[in-house]
Amino acid sequence: MAHHESGVQSDTTRPPAVGDRAPDFTAPTGGGGTLHLWDLLGQKPIVLYFYPKDDTPGCTAEACSFRDNYAQFTGAGAVVIGISGDSAASHDRFAEKYNLPFPLVSDADGSVRSLYGVSPRGALPTRTTFVIDAAGIVRGIFSSLASATQHVDRSLAALSH
């Protein structure tokens, strides 16, 4: 498979739908790390949530909702990953400020967001969550900019099926 410099596959022509294989990517995380999605698959389901911006009211509510329900996700065997266009340094500040126990991925060039079809809405990208099973298949997609905390409930419901 061809890869761009950002580590994103270039052979995907449309965003994933439920039942499709989740697109692979490699991107920087807070703490100076790198996340390669396929390193996690085959082990656990993944809840990959795209959010507009660190430390804004809706995004903070969503992140804290994932944090507050984190034990339910880990109890279901799942990994939670947040992703936005903010820098890794911004993610570090955001995670520390709100004690977030899961990785935050930096998608500064928007390539991962584009790969997943998470389109911009105005100046900020939309809020979309993908639930991916351990085999790498998308089992649930929820998109709602306004209903930030509902992403947690919808994700937990998709994991239980």
**What does the alpha-carbon distance between residue 25 and residue 3 come to, in Å, rounded to a whole number?**
9
Residues 6+ apart with CB under 8 A from 6: 25, 26, 27, 109, 111, 112
Phi-psi region of 75 (alpha: psi -120 to 50; beta: other; left: phi over 0): alpha
Provide the annotated active-site residues.
59
Using an 8 Å Cβ cutoff, are 31 and 92 in contact?
yes
Q: Which pair of tokens denotes residue 123?
A: 């100046």
